[in-house]
Structure formats: C-alpha cells, structure tokens
Structure 1
Amino acid sequence: MTGARPPLVEAIGITKRYGPTVALMDAGITVEAGESHALVGRNGAGKSTLVSVLTGLTRPERGTVRYDGGPAPALADRAAWRRRVACVYQRSTTIDELSVAENLFLGRQPVTPRGRVISRRRMRRQARALLDEWGVPVDETARAGGLSVEDTKLVEIARALSRGTRFIVLDEPTAQLDSRATDRLFAHMRRLQEAGVTFLYISHHLREVYEVCQAVTVLRDARRIVTAPVGAMPPGKLIEAMTGERGGLPVPHTAPPPRPFGATAPAAVRLEQLSSPDFHDVSLAVAAGEVVGLAGLAGSGSHQLGAALAGLHRASGGRAWIFGRPLRTGSVPAALAAGVGCLPRDRHHEGLVPLLSVAENITMPISGRLGPLGLIAPKARDAVARRAIADLGIGTEGPAQPLSELSGGNQQKVVLARALAIDPRVLVLIDPTAGVDVGAKRALLAAAIRARAEGRAVLVVSDQLEDLRVCDRVLVMFNGFVTAEYPAGWRDGELLAAVEGVAAGDG
C-alpha cells in the first residue's frame, strides 16, 4: 500500500557458514514497529547467528538487512548499530563492580563543564532520570553485582533505550527468573511497547510466546520455516514447525507409572530439621527409585536446599543422610564421595568449563579413575564421553570438540553427563530445562525417568510445571519452609496456588 510504513527491521536471504557448518541458509525475518516478535527454534536452528547478523556483529555471505526501509550501517560503525538495535543476553553484560549509574553511561560518562573529569553528580542525576522515565525501580548508586537477575535485565534495557534504540532483542530473558519475576518483566515490556519500543523475543518457553508476543518466526535447520501471527500458530502447530515432526516433541504431561522399587525402597536421602539462612527446619525423605519435585519461587529456599545436598550450599543446622550415612553440606567433594550427582542451576558459572573439550567436561569428576597414578588415558576418557554422547543424544562432532561450540541445550546435556559420570546414587537436578529447546527438554527429563528406573533417587528443583510432571510427588516450599506435598496427578492451579503461597480458591 502506497505510503505504508516499512518494517522496523527486515532480513532477507541471509546465508552464513562457519567452515562446513551451515548456520543460516536463505533465512530471514520481518519485524514490524511496536510489536513483540518471537524467534523460536530448537538449539542449533540458527537463532544466535541471525541475531548476530541483526545486531551487526556478523557479516552474512549473502543477504540484506534493512532498518526502517534503509540499508543497515557498515559493520565498523558501532555507534550507528547501537542507535538501531540492542541485545539483552541471557548472561548479563553489566560490570558487577560498578554502580548502576556507571553501567548505564559506561564509555559516555557526563563530564564537568570544563570537560576535564567525569561528573559523578551529573551521572547519578541523569541515571535517576533515565530509570524513572522507563519505570525501572533500581537505586542508581547500587552496585550492579548486587542486583537481582530481573533488575539487571531492566538496567540493560534502560541502557539500550538511553542510546536511542527502540528495538531490543531479549535472549532467553526468563531463564533465571521465577514466575513472579517473569510476570513483572512482561508487565514492563508491555509498558515499553505502549511507549513505542519493539522487541525480538527469544525463548524456549512456548507459553511465554503466547503471553507476550504478537508474531512468531520459526527457524529450523538454518532456514526460516514460517512467520505468522501468534494466534494463527496453536502450540501443536508451532512445535511441529520447530521439530519437523508431526505431533512435535512434548515433555511428559501425565503422572508417571508406579515406581518399580515400591514402598519398601530404602531412604536414599533423609533430612532432619535441616536449616540455613534460606530454608528452615526441612525434614523429608526421598526413596531409591523415586523422583521428588521441589517447587518454589525465588526466595522460597528450594534452590538452596537442592544446592545443599550437592555441596554447593552450607546448612547451619539440622542433619542430612545419604543411604544412612551422614552428609556434610557445603562440600562438593563430600557430596561426590556420598554419591550425589548434580546438574546445577547456572551451567555457565557452576556446571562447565567452555574452553575444555566435551570429553574433558564430562569426565572431570572421575579424571582420577581414567589411568594409572592419576594420569588420564585419552582413550579411556574418550570412551566414557562417547557413551554419554550416545546415551543423552548430545549434538557434537565428537569428544574433542570444544564445549563452547555447542548449543545451549547440548551444553546442558554435557553438564548432566558429568553428573552421571560418577554413577550417582542420588541425582539433584536444579532448573534442568532452563534455556533449552523442546527436544533438549525431552531428553533431560527422560534422563530423570531412566535414573528412577535404575534405582537412583532423583530430586528435581524447579517451578516449571513441565519439569514437575515427571515426579512421583512434589513438595512445595514457601518463605523457606516446606508447606505442601502433592502426589502425581496434581492439578496445575492447585500446585501454582501453593507455590504462590495462596489457597487454590483465592481470587
């Protein structure tokens, strides 16, 4: 139509290869001004490469990127790119040691009238005005490293808006947020949309696509499969587009079958009035051959309780036993010696070493067993890794591939493989499917079910309903206490009400 406004951003016929790997093949996307547009696809589909092209960090071999109908800036003109687009990544780009104000104006700090030194007073004043303008409830003098994940993302959004961009890419923004923080982020996004901000929203949580987005683009195998209004893509059709398989790859949605080890199975985990600053007087038992869910929002103590069993958090009171033997919390070596394997909450900081190979990461806790006198025999190490690669379906070129080259879902599988390498009797999975695609979710949760069948005790710490459906029962934590227990077959509303600390019938 004559006079119609061009798309805010348009990528056409984008092709990019990395050696023999085709990252994008004739792919593209069109994002209209003022919308929240979802970009979805399984790990390795090409999402990260497309974002890198849209933000001017990667030059495609073929194809065109246009902003507001005009050509994109030259790659070297970083200031022009920053005025057009910003990306808030899953991993924060703020500098922990600096204040919020210093992070907002890093590299462009206001100076004194004579222009000789930075004016910290002006910087704080401008930061406060910027945060107030965009509704970010954060103290401008606070140290960035002390902010919550939610507030850190809001500060990064405000920093992008202060540079003039009105197009923001959100990469897995809720991966480390509980449901309440996610709701607050969505409310903030809606306010910004009303003020003229456009979002490209990348997430593996398809429920969020329907909640906050108006359009969706699906990538699969480096190609664009479809772009459509969200209302025209019901969940089954969306998953089918992502996977190429009719019916998609759903995670389990029904109660698990009866436990093979029965009610007489020994107590693998027993806690008696275990306490710390984050949880209080927790007493529970998990049997061998049982999967128990531990559900709770941030601040409930659920993550810290799971971390205590894995040696990542120290209890200040109470006692813990693994198969009848006392467990010293706060010690990873003690947890490993007791047979506790763990998939930690944050794979980037607690679960992997990106510069090492797949095999080195998988075998790290058992390196002393892979050769005489503590020396590692490469053949033995690679044999262990190949078995894990096959068992978990890890997408890799082989044991020697650097872990940093794998997609997020495959990195998560490597972290799980490392936990399984010790042949654990107890497996603790903390937010196991955060930030991974539907195929990886299925594989990770299937591993929990296999561990159960092998007689291991499994603790799944999560507030994601899909994760909890594989459990024989779910314990709910609120404000540091275990407040409810639900057997398999619970209703969504009932469980969510307990997680939120309200009765199911409350308005």
Structure 2
Amino acid sequence: MPYASARAGDGRSTEDPPVVQATGITKRYGPTVALNGAGIAVAAGETHALVGRNGAGKSTLVSILTGLQAPDEGAVSFAGRPAPRLAERDAWRERVACVYQKSTIIGELTVAENLFLNRYDRGRTGLVKWSALRRRAAELLAAWSVDVDPRTSAGDLSVEQRQFVEIARALSFGARFIILDEPTAQLDGAAISRLFGRIRDLQAQGVTFLFISHHLQEIYEICDVVTVFRDARHIVTAPVADLPRADLVAAMTGDNAATGRRERRRTVDAAAPAALSVRDLVGAEGAYRDVSFEIGAGEIVGLAGAAGSGRTEVAETVVGLRAPAGGLVEIAGRRPRPGSVPDALSAGAGFVPQDRHQQGLVPGMSVADNGTLSVPGRLGRHGFINTRRRDAIAAGLIENLAIKTPSPRLPVSGLSGGNQQKVVMARALADNPRLLVLINPTAGVDVRSKEFLLDKVEQTAQSGAGVLIASDELDDLRVCDRVLVMFQARVTAEIGRGWHDHELVAAMEGMDLDA
C-alpha cells in the first residue's frame, strides 16, 4: 500500500520533529474506552486532516492535545519536547489553540475585548486603557489580515468573521499550531473558499493546522495529509494525494460501503392536499422576493443556494420563525398565522433548524425532554408532565432514530454531535408531521450518521409527508425529487433528479454554463 499502516502514532516522516506528536494515547471513562493506543504526528507547515465517525475518539484526542485533560497512557510532545503540565495554561496557549465548531467568542463584548480577554492594558489606577487595547487589537488583526473593526460588537459578527477572530486570538498567544473543529459546518461555498484561502496564507507564514471535518471533499481540497480514527484507534495516516476516496471511506467505516445513494421510487399522492403551498412570498428587508412553489404529499424538494440567497429565510418563514412581508403559506391545506411557530406545528410541520447548538437543543435538559418538546399535549394533563409517559414516548423516539444514549434522562449535551442531531430529528418527527422542513440537516455529522438521517428523510416521504430541505450540501440534495435554486433572493432554476454536481453548483453561483 502506498500509505502508512494502522500503527498508533503513524505520521509523515520529516527531518524536523513534528509540531505535535501523540503516541500510544489511551483514555478511559469508566468502562468506555475513548482512545485505545491511538496517536498522530503533525509536521510543521502542513494542514493535516483528522477524520472518523462520531465516537471514533477525535474529540477526546483534541482535549488531550489542548491540555484540557491528561491521557491515562501515552505521551504528547510539541516540537520534540514534552507537553507542559495541565496546570500551566499559558504554556499550552503558546503551543496550541482550538477553534471549535461552537464559537467561544463572547457576543456581548467587542472584538478587541474578546481578543485580549483577561489581558487588558491597565494604567497606574488599575483602570483599563481602552485606546491602547483597541490599538493592539487593530495591529493584531492587520498582522493576520483579518478585516474586522476591533470596536465591533462580537455578537454582530458572521460565523466566518468569528472564526477569523478566534484564529487571530490564538496566534496572539504565540501558538502556531491551530486545530479547526468542523470550521465549515455553518459556512456557504463562498465563505469556505475564503477560509481555505486564509488557511493557505497562514501556512505560508508558518502556521500548522489540524483540520477536523465530516465533509470529505474538503479534505482533498485543503489538506496535505489525513489521519483516520475508528473505534477509538488510529487506522491510517497517508498523504491525501495517495489515498483514494473509496479507501478513505472504507477506513472510516470499516467496510467498503459505497458512497453513492440508493435510488428509491416514491409516489406523490396527487389526490391529497399539497404538503406545502407557498405563493408570492416576500421577505422582510428583501430577504427573498416573489417565491412560489408547492410540495406534494410524499415529495422531497430541495431549496439550494449560497448564504444570502434567501433559502434559509424561506424555510424559516414556512415554519413560523420569520414573518413574511407578504404572500401566503399553506401547510397541508391549513394557513398558519404568519410568524407563529406553534401555529405551523399545529398545522402539521416538523422542523430541524440550521444550528442545533443555538436553535435545536436545550443543553441542560435530558434527551427525553429535548425529544418531546414539540408534543407537550401528549406528556400529561393541565400542563403537568407525566415522566413515565414522557420516557415511554422518548424511548420510542430513541429506538426509531437509533440514538446512542445510556438513558433517556442523560443531558443531551453528553451525546456526540451525530446523536444530538438525531435528537433534533426525533423531535421533528415526534408528532408525525405532514410537512418536514430541514435546514442543513447533516451539518457536522459523520458519514454513517449522515446516511442514516437521509434514509430517515426518505422513509418520512414514503409515509406520505412532504419534505423541504434547505441546504447547500450536495449530499443533502441528492435525495430530492427536484431542487429549486435560489440566487440573490429569487428562485432562479428548478432542476430535476439526476443532476451533475457542476450543474447545480453553477446554478447556485448564478453561472450559466452554456453562455
């Protein structure tokens, strides 16, 4: 084989010691083995991918590489020197930083305050020297080509801008090794291209990246080397150019599962009321204009487009998260009150929002409570919850969605990303919706979980429900009977099943391939 064998700690051979090397790492949580003799070596100046299904051990390795916890066995070194003690937080910050999928930026503070949190310049009186702080922030942002005003409230930043600010903050400590955890999960195609451009620029300036992503195509676009974990073990490390896509998927799953999807025949019930009818819909502040379409019972329709195209806003309007400026929405023949989520749910809608962290889950509540939030009327009478009834309903949802949890009473924050997304899907399906609306339904989940969720979408359609999928993820859209493409706030194309990637992407970017 042209790539490394499945040995713990395998990495690319270089003359200089790796920027970071973890060897023989084992970590247990009670009877659960999160890592079993695993390892990784990342060479200076490269972008190294770490991939694996949820539960493979990626998050545990990241927590060890960043000094948040110690391994039970094994060792970590930086540039050939042993890692600092866990208590030496500044020493860790000088060596490594992680930009997580869930931003750690504090929205109530300015960009400058976030960049130098707990490191403010103070005068003799002990008061913060705000002008000096803003000047330092501006110099830092300029040095790393981050085009953000340091006086801006961090809560007003886009996801992309927050990531760049977090990278700049990490570099300000002296770290030149950055871990990017699912950095593209909430970015559109144009923002991903800009991120990749910044990664390449920073590489040229001596920054090394560990890139964690479930989007395998991105690995081939931006990464030099890829390491695969499976079932808590290191499986393979190889140059990306030497590892065919089929082999990468096989390494992640342990089998030779095909990357393509089965074609399923579905029948749209023409006699039944349309699952969704949207007519002349106009969004507030021009978010979308003159949008009209229907989804039949049993039909899956995609709504594709880049960020700013209006696709997400249309989907959120359908389920009542937004009130339109004009137009009509009908769900299974009923007209819910505009801007009312309870009305949309009552009319027969189920909903998977764009961001499970901010919109989809209540982290401190249990799996059972999160899964049954949409069906309070089935949990008890007069506003009281019958816990037995709740747990019984939750047990059915857990079985139906194959959610891996030791108990329905476990806080949902204790689940992996893929299982959290299954909880959000379970809640959307809890009341047997006539219309299922999903926004980026497989963002940040592994290959197997993605296949499971999309299979569940197809099963839902086969049961007679209509489905609307608003996404720019091509795999999400492959299950659709047709795809409506939005560009600059309007529906500009309708593409039937069997499209080619370049055809759909060109339409999403507003390009005419025949011109």
| TM-score, normalised by the number of residues in structure 2 | 0.95
Please point out which of 333, 339, 354 is paired with 1:330. 339
Residues 313-352 of structure 1 mapped to structure 2, 5 A cutoff = 313-352=322-361
Give the gaps of 5 or more residues in structure 2.
Answer: 1-12
**In structure 2, distance between residues paired with 1:418 and 1:424:** 10
**In structure 1, distance between residues paired with 2:461 and 2:47:** 41
Residues 4-403 of structure 1 mapped to structure 2, 5 A cutoff = 4-112=15-123, 114=124, 116-247=126-257, 250=259, 252=261, 256-276=263-283, 277=285, 278-403=287-412
**In structure 2, distance between residues paired with 1:363 and 1:323:** 22
Please state how far the C-alpha of 1:367 moved relative to its aligned partner.
Answer: 2.6
CA deviations on 1:445-485 (whole Å, 9 max, x unpaired) are 11110011000000001001100000000001111111111
**In structure 2, distance between residues paired with 1:394 and 1:339:** 24
Kindly provide the amino acid, as one letter, of the partner of residue 139 in structure 2.
A
**In structure 2, distance between residues paired with 1:87 and 1:115:** 35
Residues 368 and 375, structure 1, Cα contact 8 Å, conserved in 2: no
**In structure 2, distance between residues paired with 1:203 and 1:261:** 36
Please state how far the C-alpha of 1:115 moved relative to its aligned partner.
Answer: 6.9
Kindly provide the amino acid, as one letter, of the partner of residue 249 in structure 2.
I
SS of structure 1 residue aligned to 2:295:
strand
SS of structure 2 residue aligned to 1:284:
strand
Q: Match for residue 512 of structure 2?
A: 503
Please state how far the C-alpha of 1:263 moved relative to its aligned partner.
Answer: 4.7
Check 1:115–1:317 CA distance in 2 against 1; reply closer, same or farther (3 A cut). same
**In structure 1, distance between residues paired with 2:232 and 2:335:** 51
Q: Match for residue 416 of structure 1?
A: 425
Please state how far the C-alpha of 1:5 moved relative to its aligned partner.
Answer: 1.2
SS of structure 1 residue aligned to 2:486:
strand
CA deviations on 1:85-118 (whole Å, 9 max, x unpaired) are 0000011111111111111111112234x47332
Please state how far the C-alpha of 1:328 moved relative to its aligned partner.
Answer: 1.8
Check 1:374–1:121 CA distance in 2 against 1; reply closer, same or farther (3 A cut). closer
Check 1:251–1:347 CA distance in 2 against 1; reply closer, same or farther (3 A cut). farther
Check 1:151–1:505 CA distance in 2 against 1; reply closer, same or farther (3 A cut). farther
Of the structure 1 ranges 18-27 and 382-391, higher mean CA displacement relative to structure 2 is found in: 382-391
Please state how far the C-alpha of 1:14 moved relative to its aligned partner.
Answer: 0.8
**In structure 1, distance between residues paired with 2:41 and 2:346:** 53
Q: State the number of aligned residues.
A: 502
Please state how far the C-alpha of 1:266 moved relative to its aligned partner.
Answer: 2.9
Q: Match for residue 493 of structure 1?
A: 502
SS of structure 2 residue aligned to 1:381:
helix
Residues 424-439 of structure 1 mapped to structure 2, 5 A cutoff = 424-439=433-448
SS of structure 1 residue aligned to 2:234:
strand
**In structure 2, distance between residues paired with 1:23 and 1:293:** 37
Of the structure 1 ranges 50-59 and 372-381, higher mean CA displacement relative to structure 2 is found in: 372-381
**In structure 2, distance between residues paired with 1:377 and 1:309:** 31
| TM-score, normalised by the number of residues in structure 1 | 0.96
CA deviations on 1:105-135 (whole Å, 9 max, x unpaired) are 11112234x4733222222222111111111
Check 1:3–1:41 CA distance in 2 against 1; reply closer, same or farther (3 A cut). closer
SS of structure 2 residue aligned to 1:417:
helix
Of the structure 1 ranges 263-272 and 466-475, higher mean CA displacement relative to structure 2 is found in: 263-272
Please state how far the C-alpha of 1:3 moved relative to its aligned partner.
Answer: 10
Give the gaps of 5 or more residues in structure 1.
Answer: none
Residues 464-503 of structure 1 mapped to structure 2, 5 A cutoff = 464-503=473-512
**In structure 2, distance between residues paired with 1:319 and 1:426:** 16
CA deviations on 1:391-438 (whole Å, 9 max, x unpaired) are 222111132222111100000000000010011100001000000000
**In structure 2, distance between residues paired with 1:458 and 1:3:** 51
Kindly provide the amino acid, as one letter, of the partner of residue 477 in structure 1.
M
Please state how far the C-alpha of 1:505 moved relative to its aligned partner.
Answer: 4.1
Kindly provide the amino acid, as one letter, of the partner of residue 163 in structure 1.
F
Of the structure 1 ranges 487-496 and 37-46, higher mean CA displacement relative to structure 2 is found in: 487-496
Please state how far the C-alpha of 1:262 moved relative to its aligned partner.
Answer: 5.0
CA deviations on 1:173-218 (whole Å, 9 max, x unpaired) are 0111001000000000000000000000000000111111001111
Residues 251 and 441, structure 1, Cα contact 8 Å, conserved in 2: no
Kindly provide the amino acid, as one letter, of the partner of residue 400 in structure 1.
R
Check 1:496–1:122 CA distance in 2 against 1; reply closer, same or farther (3 A cut). same
Residues 474 and 486, structure 1, Cα contact 8 Å, conserved in 2: yes
Kindly provide the amino acid, as one letter, of the partner of residue 155 in structure 1.
V
SS of structure 1 residue aligned to 2:450:
helix
**In structure 1, distance between residues paired with 2:453 and 2:404:** 13
Kindly provide the amino acid, as one letter, of the partner of residue 219 in structure 2.
V
CA RMSD of aligned residues (A): 1.7
Please state how far the C-alpha of 1:17 moved relative to its aligned partner.
Answer: 1.0
Check 1:373–1:101 CA distance in 2 against 1; reply closer, same or farther (3 A cut). closer
Q: Match for residue 9 of structure 2?
A: none
SS of structure 2 residue aligned to 1:66:
strand
Residues 368 and 376, structure 1, Cα contact 8 Å, conserved in 2: no
Percent identity reads 57
Q: Match for residue 4 of structure 2?
A: none
Residues 280 and 291, structure 2, Cα contact 8 Å, conserved in 1: yes
Q: Match for residue 5 of structure 2?
A: none
